[in-house]
Structure 1
Amino acid sequence: MVQNKKIHMAVHLEYYCRKCKKVVSARVHEYEPVSCFEELDKQLDSTNQPIIPFACPQCGTEQYPEDIVMYDITDGKMTRVLVDKIGSSKIPVVNGEETPYGNVMSKEEQAEYERGLAKIKDHFKEHEKEFWQNYCTFAVEKWQVVLKEINEKEYLEAYRTLGVPLQPSTANLHAWRRDAEKRFQSKTEKEIFWRAANQYIIHHEFLWTPTDSWPMDDFIRLYGRERVTYLTLHIPLPEELEKYRTIKLSQIIKKRTGETGVLFERIGQLGRELEKHKKRAGQLGQTVLELRKEINKLQEELAQTKRELARKPVVVDRQAEDARKIKEFKGLIRELREEIERLRNKLPQEEKEHSFEEDQMENKQQETAQPETDLSVLAGKTVLIVGWPNEETKGENCKIFWHDGDKVDIKLQALLKEADILVFLTRFGSHAAMWWLKEQAIEENKPIYFVKSRNVQRILQDIAEKQKTQ
């Protein structure tokens, strides 16, 4: 007697490495061998796969996986049996805000969804009587149409359930349909047959398959558009799953005429548009992750270059070799700064806002500040403040120039040459202006200060205090 082999399955996460031009695969779970697919389904339902980036063994590049793949390893061979896109409507990612996927659930959304799935069978039983009454009424009114959507397997199960003589094994679908038309003619007979024929689609498809994973195209192909549309609209679902019904409904809507047709068409358009946005979000997420990695790498190179520069002694009489190296380092710093700025411009821009409350707090603090600092050390000096637009002003002992700090222009270059002291407002000026100002301060041997406040009196007091301690 031959013993049936047990089913042995494993799950892999995979992605296509664009540098090596090959698929990278990593096994993340291996299921216990089981004797039937029902036991395997129970294991699948109780397993959550963590989605994390992993490195390509050839080039070392880390990347988030793109596909989740099921392999049959029953005979010691790896046979690919199922592939799904991670972040698709079938495989949403939980708590993946920092990942490059379009369909992302928060932990709260996932918990709500699982509550809905846990209640689905009890909820259906509670509304089952009303549902079958309406479903049978729908079928009787469209009897000739819906009878064509019953497949051979459903005819066979219904006839067996009702104890009706079966058709010969050679009978085709048309023969089954003709027999049903003749055999079930009264309203009651039609309703009894309809319930028996629809047990599988109700209990083993719509109620058994998780709502967000309903394969609408497959359902329509196997069971017909009229039945699938009705069930998608009317099958009882817990409140937690209603939004997934709407998403699935948008996938089966086809063009119709009339006012109702326009509404259904619009639902379909919105559903398709949502899918496009989710795919686009996934692509943009991947691009952002790659740009961030590149920026971090460049910033580390820049920091390393600065550390090397800091270790070099400062001398008044620079030798030719030292001058050449300093020039090379400055060129490298300039190139890195330009590259960081180019990459930063590709990222979604975040507007910097200065709230009214912050201004009020600054003024209040200024009013309650300690006695004013002696500003005599600034007598005759010219101070350039970069980061806020204003007109030329005069302090008690000094002249003050302003520049908005949005970019490095001719005006900023001219003001820098006249200034004795440089100030940069960190909350307002651009990164490009900040880096340029730092470089020029070193080149021109001028003091530079970085402050958050734009209160002139406070800026001058801070500078005076620091000038005294130097």
Structure 2
Amino acid sequence: MSKFFDDFVHLKVYLVGRCTKCKHYNELMVHDYGRLPYSKLEDEMDRTNHPIRPISCNKCGTEYKPQQLVYRDVVRDSEVAKVNIDYSNIIDDEKSAAMQEGHDDRFKIYQKREQEFWAAYTEFALEDWKSAVGELMRQEIEAGFAALGKKTTLKSDLHARREVLQKIAASDRRSFWIAANQEFIVGELLDLGVMGWVPIEFAKRYGAARTRFGVMYFPIAEALEDLRTKYIGLLFKRERGDNAFLLRRIGQLTDAAHKQTVKYNKALRQTDEQKHVIAEMQDKLGVANARITELSRQQPAQSRDSDDIRRIRELKSFVGELLAELRAI
């Protein structure tokens, strides 16, 4: 375990955003993980959901929907992450519970289908052994050699790959591949769970081909399949293989869904802003109508002076303008 994994972190989570009425920036702390070693913090984050609830503006008192979740490390006084809240993708309690259950059960699900998955994964590698080895890193190759009881000195990723192609017999390739991929399959896909996968980063670190295979075929709960589909769309945007058309289409649909999400979140905020404008106009309208009624009752029509008549006309004109603005919204 690395030194970084033993470092202490004090993470706090905030809902943040600007008020839809007065535009004042507000923050609401929703969780404090306390001071924990990073290794334990990961487990705590696995078990914790952060409910999205309205923020009450410190300036005008208006309640409104937050725009982002912010994670801050108190120890280092730094912002760890900022995540936009996708209101179009907020799920109901039942589905959320099913997803969390699937996440919690991931080790059991993996154990049941472990042999089946590794058989398919090694077949994938053996179909084009040179290309598969070409995505391995030196430390992964060292793990593969160690599992076979072979001692070797590897100077770089390129040197390590050459050593594999020259020294690993065809009969040892399956065992080597399984040992070399423990960090990716177990340390990343299994330990993080689908809800924590970062496919684009995986592809950069572990290579596009095996990342695609892992994302497509790693055993997961049924409740998490929608997430898998989303990740597939991200990974196959520029696919040129046998299933290129289908996979590109998934990528296009993912892009379209993202654009619609952005539009939805923007429209939702604009709707909230318009509600405040309408409420303010209705307040002004009520005051104007009350003033007209008051002036009308003060004295009979025949004895009203010109100033009263002028004020009534101005108020009625103001009411008409407010009604026109309300109808235009």
Given the superposition, is the C-alpha separation of residues 29 and 242 from structure 1 closer, same or farther in structure 2, using an over 3 Å criterion?
A: closer
What TM-score comes out, normalization by structure 1 length? 0.63
Q: Distance in 1 between matches of 2:294 and 2:23?
A: 42
- For residue 327 of structure 2, what is the aligned residue in structure 1? 341
- String of CA shifts for 1:427-449, please: whole Å, max 9, x gaps: xxxxxxxxxxxxxxxxxxxxxxx
Given the superposition, is the C-alpha separation of residues 24 and 162 from structure 1 closer, same or farther in structure 2, using an over 3 Å criterion?
A: farther
Return the structure number with greater helix share: 2
Where 1:7 maps in the other structure, the secondary structure is strand
What TM-score comes out, normalization by structure 2 length? 0.88
Where 2:88 maps in the other structure, the secondary structure is coil
Given the superposition, is the C-alpha separation of residues 290 and 244 from structure 1 closer, same or farther in structure 2, using an over 3 Å criterion?
A: same
Match of 1:292 among 265, 275, 281: 275
| Native 8 Å contact 2:281 2:326 kept in 1 | yes
- String of CA shifts for 1:216-251, please: whole Å, max 9, x gaps: 110100111110111111111222222221111011
Deviation at 1:16, TM superposition (A): 5.2
Identity fraction in percent: 28
Q: Which structure has the higher relative contact order (CA within 8 Å, separation 6+)?
A: 2
Indicate yes or no: 2:135 matched with 1:149: yes
Given the superposition, is the C-alpha separation of residues 118 and 45 from structure 1 closer, same or farther in structure 2, using an over 3 Å criterion?
A: closer
- For residue 99 of structure 2, what is the aligned residue in structure 1? 113
Deviation at 1:86, TM superposition (A): 2.0
- In structure 1, what residue type is equivalent to 2:234? Q
Indicate yes or no: 2:41 matched with 1:40: yes
Deviation at 1:133, TM superposition (A): 1.0
Select between 40-49 and 220-229 the one with higher mean Cα deviation: 40-49
Given the superposition, is the C-alpha separation of residues 19 and 156 from structure 1 closer, same or farther in structure 2, using an over 3 Å criterion?
A: farther
- For residue 304 of structure 1, what is the aligned residue in structure 2? 287
Match of 1:183 among 162, 167, 170: 167
Match of 1:230 among 198, 204, 213: 213
Deviation at 1:24, TM superposition (A): 4.3
Match of 1:174 among 146, 152, 158: 158
| Native 8 Å contact 2:20 2:273 kept in 1 | no
Indicate yes or no: 2:301 matched with 1:316: yes
| Native 8 Å contact 2:13 2:31 kept in 1 | yes
Where 1:164 maps in the other structure, the secondary structure is coil
Given the superposition, is the C-alpha separation of residues 20 and 325 from structure 1 closer, same or farther in structure 2, using an over 3 Å criterion?
A: closer
Deviation at 1:38, TM superposition (A): 1.9
Q: CA RMSD in A?
A: 2.6
Indicate yes or no: 2:179 matched with 1:196: yes
User: Gapped runs of 5+ residues in structure 2?
Assistant: 1-5
Where 1:32 maps in the other structure, the secondary structure is strand
Deviation at 1:322, TM superposition (A): 1.8
Alignment of 1:282-431 (within 5 A): 282-312=265-295, 313=297, 315-317=300-302, 318-343=304-329
Deviation at 1:298, TM superposition (A): 1.2
| Native 8 Å contact 2:19 2:26 kept in 1 | yes
- In structure 2, what residue type is equivalent to 1:315? P
Select between 211-220 and 129-138 the one with higher mean Cα deviation: 211-220
| Native 8 Å contact 1:212 1:248 kept in 2 | no
